[in-house]
Structure 1
């Protein structure tokens, strides 16, 4: 029988600022039930993305204290080698998925960003952008397969804590599932931007032309005297 890593060991991998805020969640029944479900799925031979060490990657990359923008997607990429724990991002050796190509297209149209040659968004994380999915795992080739097993409770906690403890953040909610979290955000303290998911199935329903990136930078500069450099550095 295959055992997942101990919850405590994964908790200890989180950035200390996140460990302080989320540590209590790892002791709750829902997360233990979630863990038991994922373990049973693995033992049935099901392939789960991203790899186990990347399930909480988003909380290792970006300190809670540094967060300026939250980009909220739905669930991880469900094809081999794509998901690595940051919403919409892929490693720089992987072909850019269609959703991310659409994000880059909107960036070019919005702020004239040159088209990147890879899809790794680590540089965004390093600037205080939390690349979060509503659900943190998915079964291979089955988008949405890990909805309603407990991840939403966990990510609700993340959004609630960000809204309550910080001010003047930008929340980009892309897609119907992401937009369900709008009620957790104090819109008097934060900027909430909503549009369709950048997937080819829905990108023409509002994502193209949304101008979220320029709007976010204007808000961040006004409130924090900072601007995000959205450009993705070339590998060459």
Structure 2
């Protein structure tokens, strides 16, 4: 019996990962004695929300939040009403304000996903309280295949932290916009994330190609 409902993956379901590697990951997850985040129905949320043909921007993070109720399957996104510390997301909001002069308070980033921002982590699961513990579970196979699938057209890649930069080392910086910086975590944000201006630079790049910019601030009508 599979842990995951793969019926909403759309074109992503053609990736070999789902037949070849995911069963091995499922076996490992079934043996995991700690709570795992995000919940199984949300693990592939990023793929369900943003199809390959619609992806204009890839934000690549590390692994999901390891605090109960915080991870929702979109990298850096936090469900509305969470109520706890925002940590990385709070620092992202500060950079949006500095970079664009726009406020952002909505923690659910699904509106970014709906604009073509693939919010992907280098590992899609994490045990409670154990950051990076699933980094070698096999998720890297999926990330490699996703990046290969997206290589056929120019896109913007925002690579936050060492794991993201390592995973996307083969992304062509000539054909794509490739912005690499420190992770927005409180532990590393002052090492180059603040001031990196990823949001304005991405929008300038999109508009130079005749594409609509991303609304990184709060959705209209919030």
Q: Do both share a fold (TM > 0.5)?
A: yes
Tell me which residue corresponds to 1:98.
87
C-alpha offsets along residues 181-208 of structure 1, whole Å, 9 cap, x if unaligned?
A: 2322122211110000000000000000
Stretches of structure 2 lacking an aligned partner (at least 5 in a row)? none
Measured on the aligned residues, the alpha-carbon RMSD in Å equals 1.6
Q: Secondary structure, in 3 states, of the residue corresponding to 1:11?
A: coil
Cα gap change, 1:80 to 1:235, in 2 (>3 Å): farther
Q: Which runs of 4+ in 1 moved over 6 A?
A: none
Q: Does 1:204 align with 2:194?
A: no
Tell me which residue corresponds to 2:132.
144
CA distance in 1 between counterparts of 2:19 and 2:211 reads 39
Stretches of structure 1 lacking an aligned partner (at least 5 in a row)? none
Q: Does 1:84 align with 2:84?
A: no
CA distance in 2 between counterparts of 1:139 and 1:225 reads 39
Q: Secondary structure, in 3 states, of the residue corresponding to 2:150?
A: helix
Cα gap change, 1:115 to 1:66, in 2 (>3 Å): closer
C-alpha offsets along residues 57-86 of structure 1, whole Å, 9 cap, x if unaligned?
A: 100001211111000000000001000100
Tell me which residue corresponds to 1:109.
98
Give the C-alpha shift of residue 110 in structure 1: 0.3
**Which of 21, 25, 28 lines up with 2:17 in the alignment?**
25
In the superposition, the TM-score normalised over structure 1's length comes to 0.89
Give the C-alpha shift of residue 224 in structure 1: 3.3
Tell me which residue corresponds to 1:226.
212
Structure 2 matches for 1:1-236, cutoff 5 A?
4-5=2-3, 10-14=5-9, 16-20=10-14, 22=15, 24-28=16-20, 30-41=21-32, 44=33, 46-95=34-83, 97-116=86-105, 118-163=106-151, 165-167=152-154, 169-233=155-219
CA distance in 2 between counterparts of 1:32 and 1:53 reads 16
Q: Which has the higher helix share?
A: 1
CA distance in 1 between counterparts of 2:168 and 2:118 reads 16
Cα gap change, 1:235 to 1:140, in 2 (>3 Å): farther
**What is the aligned length?**
221
In the superposition, the TM-score normalised over structure 2's length comes to 0.94
